[in-house]
Structure 1
């Protein structure tokens, strides 16, 4: 899927629009180990399957920040203004880690356009609400609001 390019004046018309969820993504032990290596977060619940198996989790789980780090997978599902040479990650609000993602589980991301706030005629804060769903589980892994900064020309 690719972004829907819209006239910048029309971006506000998408407020309240839910976008198609991403494809399912499997959270593997290899991916968790790579994330642990990159961040230095080698807590046993993430990287030691044998030790983690003896806990109430029953095995390793993904880092919450790894789950949050998957959110850009949904980026190409959102509309973007035409003549936009740059889009930036502006930040996240209301991040809540609601349920652990066990190793081997698949997740996908649902999104909704919350707001499009134009600072001036070329700069917009584009606010989305994201939920990371865990396949086969009622409770989602994560909820957050992701703020993107759109810079346009012309």
Structure 2
């Protein structure tokens, strides 16, 4: 169950709402390998643990886009809107990959609703998302996530 569930009619009152943080999720080598297979990005810094030990990060790292894609399942832990006919991931703005995620690291997401606008048939929200790496000061990803909810 998400941290916050609201009815569509209350959505426009939520600008500035801190949605909190998700649970941590471990990034495994198996997950990295599956992402590499799905995307065709099999660069050695991701999928060759032996070679990656001597690489710039000292271990394999998750693809930036793998980490970014986890916004979707993390989002489901934090927020939902009831009383709508459709929910759409509309896009992303201002994406930055600020720190690599080494294999077996644990990450979580913090999110804050920064803007809500009316769109034809519904509402669009902008959410500042920060994917944090356990034990590190710098986050892995910072992005503005856009979602639409249609009445």
Is 1:4 paired with 2:5?
yes
C-alpha deviations, 1:45-68, integer Å up to 9, x for none? 000001111112101000000000
Q: CA deviation at 1:13?
A: 1.5
C-alpha deviations, 1:97-136, integer Å up to 9, x for none? 000000000000000001111124x321111110000000
Is 1:100 paired with 2:100?
yes
Q: CA deviation at 1:18?
A: 0.6
Q: CA deviation at 1:75?
A: 2.2
Which runs of 4 or more aligned residues in structure 1 lie more than 4 Å from their structure 2 counterparts after TM superposition? Answer: none
Aligned residues: 149
> RMSD value over aligned CA atoms?
1.2
Unaligned runs of 5+ in 1: none
Q: CA contact under 8 A between 1:4 and 1:79: conserved in structure 2?
A: yes
Is 1:123 paired with 2:140?
no
Q: CA contact under 8 A between 1:24 and 1:108: conserved in structure 2?
A: yes
- SS of equivalent to 1:30: helix
- SS of equivalent to 1:20: strand
- SS of equivalent to 1:32: helix
- SS of equivalent to 1:147: strand
State the alpha-carbon separation in 2 of the partners of residues 143 and 87 from structure 1: 22
State the alpha-carbon separation in 1 of the partners of residues 79 and 126 from structure 2: 11
Q: CA contact under 8 A between 2:20 and 2:112: conserved in structure 1?
A: no
- SS of equivalent to 2:103: coil
- SS of equivalent to 1:36: helix
Q: CA contact under 8 A between 1:27 and 1:105: conserved in structure 2?
A: yes
Q: CA contact under 8 A between 1:74 and 1:111: conserved in structure 2?
A: no
Which residue number corresponds to residue 39 of structure 2?
Answer: 39
Correspondences of 1:5-154 after superposition (within 5 Å): 5-8=6-9, 10-76=10-76, 77-80=78-81, 82-120=82-120, 122-152=121-151
TM-score, with normalisation over the residues of structure 1? 0.92
- SS of equivalent to 2:146: strand
Compared with structure 1, are the counterparts of its residues 79 and 113 closer, same or farther at alpha carbon in structure 2 (3 Å cutoff)?
farther
